Amino acid sequence: MKRAQSPPGAVAAQGQTMSDSEPRSPARAEGSPAGRPDAAIQGGVLETRDLVVRYGDTAAIKGVSLAIPERSITAIIGPSGCGKSTLLRTLNRMNDFIPSVSIGGRIYYRGLDLYRPDVDPVEVRRRIGMVFQKPNPFPKSIYRNVAWGPQINGLDANLPELVERSLRKAALWEEVKDRLHDPATSLSGGQQQRLCIARALAMEPEVILMDEPCSALDPVSTAHIEDLMFELKERYTIVIVTHNMQQAARVSDHTAFLEAGELIEFGDTNRIFTKPEVARTEEYVTGRFG
């Protein structure tokens, strides 16, 4: 397997943002910065270092190092099958559910190695929530969809208040406050997706991962979700996988371009879309391939 070269904007592997109480000196912390990292993306809430993800013998992610900046939106773009979802799912250990997956390299969440044996993956997914491509509410009421996670995790001191707050943050409260006990499936697709966002927010995460969250939605519902993302980034770190480059350009602050499991370029979204440093990025964002 070809060793991926560090692309422009990839994080310099220096552990500069680790704020974990436990001193960490990652095994792979040595390395020289490549390219010219944009100022805003040096360091991050989540960092991958030389990340390799394999399905069986086949590597889907081939040595990716990047840092996800705090309280902003990072888009992961690239052709179908390039590894966007695989990369996203490693960030909260969702790939643990796929038996053939093996992980190499490191992923740090505020300095903590997420794959360390004593790390509880359930706690990881509470702090780093996920919203999927198709809205997937539980076959329960609107209220129970939001209340269920906090309840089983002991975060239910004032459940009605938490449910309302989460639905408000997801810009859904006004539409559902009089029908909280109706089935979630009675909501429109766009409302269901906002309900899934409320469900993630009810767990009081710090990071929200979104895997093509609008691809099953109509343009009006898509606009709702994009507006919501804009509001949420004030308080949360968002990582979105999207095949829609207009969406990436509209909503994200930073963009990572992947191709065939390698990080080709990572940087401020405006720069990536207007002055990319790598020819492949330019070809992709201008629609000349992919």
Q: Which residues bind ligand ADP (CB under 6 A)?
A: 55, 60, 78, 80-86, 98, 100
Residue 81 or 160: the one with the smaller Cβ distance to ligand ADP is: 81
Residue 43 or 83: the one with the smaller Cβ distance to ligand ADP is: 83
Residue 35 or 79: the one with the smaller Cβ distance to ligand ADP is: 79
CB of 148 to ligand ADP, least distance (A): 27
CB of 136 to ligand ADP, least distance (A): 17
Look-up: residue for tokens 């602050």? 253
CB of 245 to ligand ADP, least distance (A): 13
CB of 2 to ligand ADP, least distance (A): 16
Residue 62 or 126: the one with the smaller Cβ distance to ligand ADP is: 62
* Cα 127 → chain centroid: 12
